Structure 1
Amino acid sequence: MRHAVALALVAALAACGTSVPDRPKAVRAPAPPPIAGEACFRALEAQGVIFRPLPQTVSTGGCTLEQGVRVEGMSAALNRPVTLSCPTARLVDRWMDEVVQPAARRHLRTRVATVHQAGGYVCRGTRNGRLSEHARGRAIDIWGFELADGSKAVVRDHWHGAGARSRFLQEVGRKSCGLFHVVLGPPSDADHHDHLHLDLGEWKLCQV
Structure 2
Amino acid sequence: MVNLGDVFPNFDADTSDGKINFHTWIGDKWAILFSHPADYTPVCTTELGRVLKLVPDFEKRNVKLIALSVDDVESHKGWAKDVQDFVGHSGKFPYPIVSDPKRDLAVKFGMVDPVEKDGAGMPLTCRAVFIIGPDKKLKLSLLYPATTGRNFDEILRVVDSLQLTATHKVATPADWKPGDKCMVVPSVSAEEAKKMFLR
Common fold, TM-score beyond 0.5? no
TM-score, with length taken from structure 2: 0.27
Q: Radius of gyration: which is bigger?
A: 2
TM-score, with length taken from structure 1: 0.26
